Each structure stands twice: as C-alpha cells, then as structure tokens.
A and B are shown apart, each in its own frame.
Chain A
C-alpha cells in the first residue's frame, strides 16, 4: 500500500471536531441527565474523539489491512478482559 499524505485541511477539520467534542463533553458533564445517560454520553463522545484520532492523526484510514487487524486485536483482547471480569463481578449477587 503506497503512502497517503493527509492534507492540512483534513487535519484542521479533525482538530476542530476534537475541540468541539471536548466542549460538548464538559457541557454534558454539567447537565443532570436521567439515569446512566451522563456516563453513556461522556463515553460516546470519548469513543468518537478516539476514532477520529486513530483514523486521521494516526493514518489508520489510509493504512494496510494488516494494521487494521492489529488494532482490532487490541479491542478484541480488551473485550475479553472486561467481559470475563464483569461476568464474574455482576453475577456474584445471583448466588
């Protein structure tokens, strides 16, 4: 896969989006949303920001499939870490 040079315009757009995300997350953190909505909103914004950084600043969007697989493996093992731990903690009270 040949190199792809991301343009300054794209970098600027991502930067503005990340700033907007930061402002939004602070605003949302100060609002009293019902139930667990506060943490859901905060994490959704954080995940979107992280995806923007990974795809554009870290060039994954323009990288080979091998890089995608390596990155996906990290998420997969993180999933195992959380799923197995919480399948224990959340079910302890069932006994």
Chain B
C-alpha cells in the first residue's frame, strides 16, 4: 500500500513572508523571539552581576578610598550621560511603537535619534576617559610613560593612597564593558535602521526591532545603577 505524504515546506498560503516554517503563526514566532532575548539578558545580568559584586566587596573593604576616587570623577559629564542614555531609551521605545503602529517616517526618525544619542554617550565617555589619562588615573602600567598615580586625588580622612587604584580598575572594567555593549547596540540599531528603510518591519512583523529594543533598554538599566554607584558615592563627604 503506497502512502503518499506531502511534506509541507515553506509557508502556508495565508502566512506572512517573515513567518519561518518551524513556527505555527506570527504570534508564536514573536513569543519565541522575546523569550529567547530574555534568556540572553538573564546571562547578561549575571555577567554584570559579577562586576557589581566585585564593586560591592571592594567598596566595603576600602570605603574612604572609594569615596575619594569617586569624587575625582566628573559628576556633570556623568549626569549628562545619564540623561542622554535615558532619552535614547525613550526614542528606542518610540521606534518600537512606531513600528507597531506602522508609521515608517517616525520609525526612521526614532532610530536615527537613538543612534545619535548612543554616539553622543560614547563621545562624552571618551572625553571622560581622556581626563583620566591626563590625570594618570589609568590603572596599572597599561599606558607607557603614564603609570597609575593617585597623587592628584584628594584623599578623604581614612583613605589610603594605595587603595585608590582598585576603584579605577573597577570603574574602567564596568564602564568599559558597558561601552562595549553600547557599541554592539549601535551596531544592532544600524542594521535595524537599514532594514527599516527597506520597509521590512511593520505592525505584522517587528521582532528584530522589539528584541534590539530590549537589549538597548538593558544597557540603559546597567547605567542607571552604574551612575550613582560610581559617581555619587562620596560627594556628601567633601567639605
């Protein structure tokens, strides 16, 4: 007895062209994409969690040295960057919204604004890093002719000069990893912008926009914690 199968490959007649054949429908595909991104973000939370743990440990070991080192950071630039990043999260949320309601022009404007704000953040970060370079505050002996030297840092009572360097190791590790994530995010959004301009995303299919948005907001959240922990921990002890 010959049985004949017709293996269904490709898409059902009424399916959206973006629907991949291993998904039942667009709804399921979107759920899967969002879930996958969240699982990835959990690993990211753990990754940054390790650094937050290191920060907490060393801050409790050397509270005065950490406060002194933190006070040397540029609070104004740090605060401006916080505003820039939160604004970029808002424009990213608007990009997702515009895609959901199918307003292509707003979609492109929001994505371009997000990109510009992301680049602004990195530019301000670069200015800050340069200030640290000029003040010989790049930890270790990474910079030829400019080994770490804490003599420019005003020490609060109880702070030991040799413990100031640990703050800067942690500062550069955390803001550096955060900046790497920003660069990756800018890359993602550039790709999204390219395909948005080609009209690939709309109310029916916007998973990549949504998922990139989740990533961008996550990077924003990391900064929301980094800003008070790195810039604001000892200001009240001055004077």
B42 near A46: Cβ-Cβ < 8 Å? no
Question: In the complex, how many angstroms separate the beta carbon of A34 from the nearest chain B beta carbon?
Answer: 11
A74-85 vs B, CB cutoff 8 Å, 1 = contact: the mask equals: 100110011001
Specify which of A2, A30, A58, A67 lies most central, judged by the most chain B CB atoms within 10 Å of its CB.
Answer: A58
A1-40 vs B, CB cutoff 8 Å, 1 = contact: the mask equals: 1110110100110110011001001100111110000110
Q: How far is the CA of A66 from the CA of B231 in the complex (A)?
A: 36
B100 near A5: Cβ-Cβ < 8 Å? yes
Whether B116 sits at the interface, judged by CB under 8 Å, is no
B35 near A66: Cβ-Cβ < 8 Å? yes
B232 near A57: Cβ-Cβ < 8 Å? no
A44-65 vs B, CB cutoff 8 Å, 1 = contact: the mask equals: 0110011001101111000110
Question: Which of A49, A56, A71 is B42 in contact with, Cβ under 8 Å?
Answer: A71
Chain B residues whose C-beta falls within 8 Å of the C-beta of A5 in the assembled complex: 97, 100-101
Chain A residues whose C-beta falls within 8 Å of the C-beta of B227 in the assembled complex: 22, 25, 46
22 CB < 8 A contacts A-B: A11-B93, A12-B90, A14-B90, A19-B83, A26-B75, A26-B79, A29-B236, A32-B236, A42-B229, A50-B224, A57-B213, A57-B217, A58-B213, A64-B31, A66-B35, A67-B34, A70-B35, A71-B38, A74-B45, A77-B42, A78-B49, A81-B49
**B residues in contact (CB < 8 Å) with A:** 27, 30-31, 34-35, 38-39, 41-42, 45-46, 49-50, 53, 56-57, 60, 75, 79, 82-83, 86-87, 89-90, 92-94, 97, 100-101, 210, 213-214, 217-218, 220-221, 224-225, 227-229, 231-233, 235-237
* New contact pairs (14) apart from A22-B79, A22-B227, CB-CB < 8 Å: A11-B90, A29-B231, A29-B233, A32-B237, A42-B229, A45-B228, A46-B225, A53-B224, A56-B93, A57-B217, A58-B218, A70-B38, A71-B38, A77-B42
